Chains A and B, each alone.
Chain A
Amino acid sequence: MIERRDFLKGCLACGVTAATVSVAGGKAMAAGSFEGYPDAMGVLVDLTRCVGCRSCEAACNAEQKLPEPDLPFDDTSVFKDKRRTTEKAYTVVNEYKVADKETLYRKMQCNHCTEPACLSSCFVNAYTKTKEGAVIYNAKVCVGCRNCMIACPFNIPAYSYSSPLNPLVQKCIFCYDTRLKDGKPPACVDICPQQVMTFGRRADLIKLGHDRIQANPGKYVDKLYGEKAVGGTSWMYLSSVDFDKVGFDGHIQNEPIISNVKDFLGFVPMVLSIWPALFTGVHLLATKNKDGHHDHEEGDHQ
């Protein structure tokens, strides 16, 4: 009789867990076909216009009240290295010598994906994709597992490792709090003296990008980076050379990152539902009415 009682107990326990986690599976499925908020804003970056003045870096620093940098923003010696975003710099410009005497500059910051990997990998739901297009972060719930840093295909989120009590993920938030939610462009776009960046509805920018490619034959490679990459990003780029040569991952997948884990997530409620009966059944088949088998009797120190 013990088996039957255990079986029922097992079913009950697993059923409850299955119910909880099926919700998880369902949500992940729905997320896969998300095509973005209709009025999400974006920025089109034209690499051919950038002269590497770094005023966007300075504007970002001031707007986000970041600490003073080690070297002033007009110092071009920083171009010696390929820099990345840190907790002190949400945007950085890197220099690329692409051909004899031709130099391109590439600004990097959070690309504000339509289906962000940071968001889908976060187990406390600290990230939100707002209807305005920004990917923002809730510092109050972040546990600091840094899975978002592992997941971000652009290596953007940084972490304030040096803070003992309140270390946080830090990255560009599209100036959401101070500008974007009021419909204003972010500080870096505003300050650019070269009109490298165009702020607008993402849907319009895609059209604008392709129009610019068509209107200037030979000037650009025929690709709008970010239109399709990892399910689309709010920030998109035009370049005169292959994107691989200016620090982009040219082979990035077009499907959003969450599509990589969907198979597994879908499998979860199935295991939770099928395994209890399967293995309890195996137990009955393997042990019932077998010679030498004895139930777990109370005093089993024979």
Chain B
Amino acid sequence: MKLFLARNPNTQIIDSLRKDNDTGRPWTLMEKIFLGLTPKQYMAQAMSNPLNWVFAAILLVGIPFIIARFIFGLSWAVGDPYDNAWGLFLGFGLFGMVPLSSSGFQLGSAVEVFGRHDFEPIERLGILNGILGYFFAVIFLMCDLGQPWRLIYPMFVSWGPEAVLFLVAWHVATYLSVQAAETSTAFFEWMGWPAGRTFVKKMALGLAVAGIILSTLHQGALGALSTYAPGKIHPLWYSSSFQWLYFFVSSLPGGLCMVIVVSTIAVKTMDWRCDATFKNSLSKLQVSLAKGASMGLITYLVIRLIGVAHDNKWAYLTTGWGGWWLFEIGFGVILSLVLLTAGIRNNSVTLVRLGAWTTIIGVVLNRLNVYMITFNWQNGHVHIPPFREIMIVITVYSIYIMTYRAILYRWPILFKWKTRYSEYAVLEPKPAAVTAPEAAGSK
């Protein structure tokens, strides 16, 4: 796209409801989908992007793999992991993606609950990052469940309310709808449906508060799930009293840093789609997000240490697993803290971005350690997922990135929709309004 625009500087990329800077006829849906390019132009720009070829190659192998997993059964993809029942689909796809998606509720509440309207340019990105992360976590879950067509059973068929997973199922389902409502404002603007947008805007505060509640509980619940397996998870990664707090607290910097990383990628790879407000405020906003993230990280570091002290697990630190624990904390938490705080202090957005990367790697590594790497540590060997399982994860994640990109290209997330809200009303009698100047011009 970048290349295409460099060659065709006069192209109108759709950023409003109507042609010619919002004065002409309304764009059709097809035009909106192709961003205002002709389908031929669109294909040409897509083909010239090498990343698309990488995705094509991944999908070419991966899609048949996903189909085969459902035709031949779960064992075709993951083998028969009786002792390590949860592999990469959940270890990475659910437990790793959900904490990185806590950005939705954090930015939603920063703006709506705490009245920090200066975060508005990045609020929609935070919310979109949230909903896509959750949505794809559910896709990963569907790949993992033995009978995914029964996913609604905990809601409608058979209740197991004393199970932590029951809470997760309900909360993720409810929270997906909350986030869908929050994201829909951008969708309604893009589609030109003002009534929907007005309706959702009125609920903004309620939705934001619901987001805080649901997120506190299910982010924590993902940690509480591991307390079912006290003997299986290595003691350094296990705390029956604090596990849910570890997961909740680490999800906060995880989500904020994911927004730093995604907004950096966006501004570097789709500069044409970001408006001036977004670009000009980005560095400042990223540093602000880093402040939040570093407060989350220092809290997380302290409570992880308190957990080791609380159960007196210091002796484990001298073992091999202790070394691995120190790496997770040293790289994911302490190094991240140093980078983020140095970035904040020196106002260096480069350091902040680097620290954001190490933070999200640290959060995902922690989830993998709890549910996969240290799981059954007493058996003395680590369960390595088979190639097909890894390939399916790469494929679903690629589809996630492609969906993410497709939405950022089109919906007003990184830019403000040029059609002002008050003008939507004029849309209906538009033919008359359009013909008037035309008639005048023809005279």
Contact = CB atoms under 8 A, between A and B. Distances in A.
B209 A147 contact: no
B82 A149 contact: yes
A264 B168 CA distance: 12
Given A124-B154, A293-B115, A24 B146 contact: no
A146 B174 contact: no
Interface string A94-120: 000000000000000000000001001
B292 to A, nearest CB: 15
Interface in A246-265: 249, 251-253, 257-258, 260-261, 263-265
Q: Max chain B CB contacts within 10 Å: which of A2, A161, A258?
A: A161
B113 A282 contact: yes
Contacts of A205: none
Interface in B101-121: 109, 112-115, 117
A296 B204 contact: yes
Nearest to B72: A164
B85 A261 contact: no
A10 B203 CA distance: 9
B114 A167 contact: no
Given A143-B146, A280-B205, A283-B112, A258 B162 contact: yes
A71 interface: no
A153 B228 CA distance: 8
Contacts of A124: 150, 153-154, 157-160
B165 A161 contact: no
Q: Max chain A CB contacts within 10 Å: which of B115, B216, B220?
A: B115
B22 to A, nearest CB: 12
Contacts of B74: 144, 159, 161-162, 164, 167
Contacts of A215: none
Interface string B205-224: 11011101100110011001
15 contacts: A17-B174, A123-B165, A123-B169, A126-B158, A146-B146, A162-B76, A164-B71, A253-B231, A257-B228, A263-B240, A265-B167, A271-B217, A276-B213, A283-B114, A296-B112
Q: Max chain A CB contacts within 10 Å: which of B73, B146, B166?
A: B146
B49 interface: no
Interface string A134-167: 0000100111111101110101001101111011
A146 B204 contact: no
Q: Max chain B CB contacts within 10 Å: which of A84, A122, A126?
A: A122
B314 interface: no
Given A167-B146, A251-B231, A265 B212 contact: no
Interface stretch (B125-133, B343-351, B416-424): B416-424
A-B pairs, 7 with minimum CB distance? A144-B146, A287-B115, A24-B161, A161-B75, A151-B228, A149-B85, A125-B160
Contacts of B204: 6, 296
A211 interface: no
Interface of A: 2-3, 5-7, 9-10, 13-14, 17, 20-21, 23-24, 27-28, 31, 84-86, 117, 120-126, 138, 141-147, 149-151, 153, 155, 158-159, 161-164, 166-168, 249, 251-253, 257-258, 260-261, 263-265, 267-268, 271-272, 275-276, 279-280, 282-283, 286-287, 290, 293, 296, 298-301
Nearest to A22: B161
A27 to B, nearest CB: 5
B86 A150 contact: yes
Contacts of A147: 85, 163, 165, 225, 228
A44 B301 CA distance: 47
Given A163-B73, A261-B164, A286-B114, A141 B82 contact: no
A277 to B, nearest CB: 9
Contact of B228 (A121, A251, A286): A121
A15 to B, nearest CB: 11
Contact of B83 (A14, A84, A283): A84
B151 interface: yes
A252 B229 CA distance: 11
Nearest to A117: B228
Interface of B: 70-76, 78-83, 85-86, 109, 112-115, 117, 144-148, 150-151, 153-154, 157-170, 174, 198, 201-206, 208-210, 212-213, 216-217, 220-221, 224-225, 227-232, 240-241, 244, 416-417, 420-422
Given A276-B213, A283-B113, A27 B231 contact: no
B171 to A, nearest CB: 9
Given A24-B162, A161-B80, A299-B420, A167 B147 contact: yes
A23 B71 contact: no
A300 B111 CA distance: 13
A122 B151 CA distance: 13
A293 B112 CA distance: 12
B210 A10 contact: yes
Given A123-B165, A296-B201, A279 B109 contact: yes
A167 B80 CA distance: 12
B363 to A, nearest CB: 20
B79 A161 contact: yes
Given A124-B154, A145-B146, A279-B109, 20 more contacts: A2-B202, A5-B202, A6-B204, A9-B206, A13-B206, A14-B210, A24-B161, A120-B162, A121-B163, A123-B168, A143-B153, A144-B148, A159-B146, A162-B80, A264-B221, A265-B224, A275-B216, A283-B114, A283-B115, A290-B115
Given A126-B158, A146-B85, A264 B73 contact: no
A268 B80 contact: no
Nearest to A292: B117
A27 B115 contact: no
Q: Max chain A CB contacts within 10 Å: which of B70, B82, B168, B421?
A: B82
Contacts of A275: 209, 212-213, 216
B205 A145 contact: no
A141 B162 contact: no
Nearest to B147: A144
A271 B213 contact: yes
Contacts of A31: 162
Nearest to A24: B161
A6 B210 CA distance: 11
Contacts of B109: 279
A141 B157 contact: yes
A10 B83 contact: no
Nearest to A31: B162
Given A167-B74, A279-B113, A286-B113, A272 B213 contact: yes
